[in-house]
Each structure stands twice: as C-alpha cells, then as structure tokens.
Amino acid sequence: MRLPELEIKNLKVKSESLQGLQILHLSDLHINKKIKVINIEKLVAFCNSLEYDFLALTGDIIDCKVDKIIPQLKALNLLKKVFYISGNHDLFYGIKGLKELLTNFTFLDNKTTFIKYQNRDIALAGISDRFSKFFKIKREEKKILSFLKSNEDSILLAHQPKDYSLAITSNTKLFLCGHTHGGQVFPFHYFVRLFQPFLAGIFYKKDTCIYVNRGLGTWGIDFRYKANSEITLLKLINN
C-alpha cells in the first residue's frame, strides 16, 4: 500500500435519479502484518478529510488472520460513514473477527438498508462474495433482488464484477465492486479477463452504471504495473 503515491480519483457518473450524490469507493485494501498502523492512520485521515455522502468498501479488507493486525483494524475503524461487504480474502482469514473489530462500519453481506439523500430514500444492498458457499454462508440473492426491484433508486455493493448481472436484472442504478486489482501487473490483465466480465473502470449496461475499482492494496507481490491503485470519489450527475 503506497499511500504517498495515492491521489483521489474524481469520477463523474451519469445518473438522473441520484444526481448530486457523492460516494467514496475503496476496495481490496489487503491489510497484512507488513502494513504499519501509521499508514492506515494516514489513509483514514485522508479519506475523512473528503466530502462524501457515504463510503463503500467492496471487500478484501484483510490479507492475514485478524488477530495479527488488530491495531491496524482499530485504526481503520475510524473511517466515517462506511458500508462494507466481504471479499474472498475476508472470508478465508475470518469475517467473524473482522465484523467484531469494525464496529463503526455497517456490514452489508446479504443485507439491505436506506440512505437519506435530499429528502429521498436511496436503497442500498450488499451481497456476500461468490466464495461464500465454501464457508457455508448462503448468498441471499432472491432477497437482494426483491429489495432492489421494489425501490426505484438503488445501489448494489459486491466484491466481484461477475455479480453485475444482479444489478442488471433488478434495474439497479449503480453497481460497485472490486476484486480484479485492474490486473495488478500487466499482462496479467488478460488472464483476469478470462474470469471476469470487466477489468476496471466504468461501464453502462441498460439502466445500470457499473464501476470496478482497481483497489488500494496488492496481492501476492507488492507491485503494480499499468494498474495503479486508487481511491475513487464518485459524483453522480444528470448528464
């Protein structure tokens, strides 16, 4: 995680019904024992200095057992207005312990809620990662689809781009995800595209805007090439 090199990525997203909403999007932090607490504190201070309506954290927060990084996670817990869902690494290393430490965050795996924005209720839902079945966690797709379909203004959080089909089916206005790291190291991009429908960036399908965040951390090796890490501030506009 190279915080000194990070800059906020401002991105305008077309959405008539959600015009003006600002979402800070983080993904794939991959916090491990090598990441110092001070780096997490800098990240938190940076994010909290920005203006946004809520922060979406789309999985893979951890990359080692929770009990090895308790100080780092306590520092991360100071982020404001966070809604998060699990990633495959979170499930593998311990989603239960993660939830117990991130008490300031709202956990959205298979859950729904509403966000008040300009006197309107915006529906927000999250779906557990596709690896959930290997950990005997049920993905409640029917519940999430029903909720999203019954609300005109809706946002869906998931870890993997593959779940964009849920957003399309339910006419969700905005779908946020991560997982790919944008390929992390070129030409690994081509390999990732064999398994995921989108690599990184913004896409429009029917009435849904899809955004795939390249993530903040790294996996395997602490190196990126032609796939810079990012913190994205999404501003929804009318045109």
Which pLDDT tens digit goes with each residue over 53-94?
999 999 999 999 999 999 999 999 999 999 999 999 999 999
Q: Which of 30-44, 104-118, 122-136, 181-195 has the lowest mean pLDDT?
A: 181-195
Q: Which of 50-54, 168-172, 181-185, 200-204 has the lowest mean pLDDT?
A: 181-185
Reported confidence tier of residue 193, pLDDT bands at 50, 70, 90 = confident
Q: Could you tell me the CA-to-CA distances from 20 to 17, 52, 59 in Å, in that order?
A: 9, 10, 25
pLDDT at 192 over 80: no
Quote the percentage of the chain above a pLDDT of 90. Answer: 74
Q: What is the pLDDT of residue 6?
A: 57
Q: What is the pLDDT of residue 2?
A: 45
pTM of the model: 0.94
How many other CB atoms sit within 10 Å of the CB of residue 197?
15
Q: Could you tell me the CA-to-CA distances from 17 to 153, 168, 195, 201 in Å, in that order?
A: 7, 16, 32, 21
Q: In a 3-state reduction of DSSP, which class is residue 96?
A: helix
pLDDT at 234 over 50: yes
